[in-house]
Amino acid sequence: MMLYTMIDSPIGELLLLGDEQTLHGLYMQGGRKPMRVAPDWQRSATPFALATAQLHEYFDGQRVAFDLPLQMRGTPFERRVWSALQDIPYGETESYGELAQRIGQPSAPRAVGLANGRNPISVIVPCHRVIGADGSLTGYGGGVERKRALLELEQGQLAISGLHP
């Protein structure tokens, strides 16, 4: 059975999706791709207590890495990209081309970008740390303003608590 909860955050409402053991999704409900709650999902905050606590610590600037059991469904290529996202250090960025190079697919920055856009666990799997080759903040499912806010939080340029775009 799929479980979910909604939590408030400084970047808007977040939907957490999973089961009793693992987090399957984290979706920004105010972004371009809000996730609809399916009729057969059951609302329960209890399985998400650790994720919620770690997210609050992150937004308060007190957590730089997450330690949560994740289950991400996707193609082998997508899972490789998502795994590589987790290796981008807190407060740093990497271009789509650099990420493609790092996973051994130097001619696939666009495919990396598509996989990045399909990341089902935003914030925790830091797709916001991937930028354009020229340093620009390119597309982000939660909106470029949220991407900027997350990067500024991580670079110590913004106290994000209380920010609601």
Whether CATH 3.30.160 fits 3-59: yes
What is the pTM for the complete model shown? 0.90
pLDDT digits (tens, 9 = 90+) for 76-94: 999 999 999 999 999 999 9
Does residue 165 have a pLDDT over 50? no
Mean pLDDT score, 7-16: 95
The confidence score (pLDDT) of residue 157 equals 66
Domain ranges of the chain: 3-59, 76-154
Question: How many angstroms separate the CA atoms of 155 and 150, rounded?
Answer: 9
Instruction: Give me the active site residues, please.
Output: 127
Query: What CATH topology corresponds to 76-154?
Result: Arc Repressor Mutant, subunit A (1.10.10)
The confidence score (pLDDT) of residue 118 equals 94
Does residue 164 have a pLDDT over 50? no
